Amino acid sequence: MTLHGTGPSLSQVNQMVADVTALIPQPATSAPPAVADSGAQGGIARYAMENHTHASKIRKSRIAVSAATYTWTYPTPFGAGVVPICNGIAETAPSATDLINIQIDGAPTNTQCTFRITRYQQSVVSLIGLTTLSLNGVPASVNLHLSAMEP
């Protein structure tokens, strides 16, 4: 049986299928990174834009401080109205006998947090075996490990 018509030829149909198939995104060849300090839209046209990232809900920093207070401005601000949970930890040398206290001074905002750093000098009174602490207001340079997390 012979069909007569004016439709496209087989080679034209094959070309149309190839053209449409080329428009369909191919599967990603690698998994995207889970998070980054700030999100980024991917640029590779594959399923899920394989090279995109999601913004992290935590900001972190390690900074040398030699003042009694330090205002940390986050590398990427949190959304408007977000009050993050902030933490600070002092890093000291293994042989250090000083105690470092870090507290949040005032309420954190979505862009910054101020930390108060206090150094206590520790010494042992050998005669009676007691440990005494003396307050030194301004610490020598100390590295602070700071973090702010979205609640």
Residue 148 near residue 117 (C-beta atoms within 8 A): no
Residue 139 near residue 116 (C-beta atoms within 8 A): no
Answering whether pTM is above 0.85, one says: no
Residue 24 pLDDT grade (very low, low, confident, very high; cuts 50, 70, 90):
confident
Evaluate if residue 140 carries a pLDDT over 50.
yes
Q: Is 132 helix (H, G, I), strand (E, B) or coil?
A: strand
Evaluate if residue 129 carries a pLDDT over 80.
no
Higher pLDDT among residues 109 and 22, named by residue = 109
Q: What is the pLDDT of residue 94?
A: 83
Evaluate if residue 70 carries a pLDDT over 50.
yes
Residue 79 pLDDT grade (very low, low, confident, very high; cuts 50, 70, 90):
very high
Compute the CA torsion angle 129, 123, 99, 62 (nearest 10 deg). Answer: -140
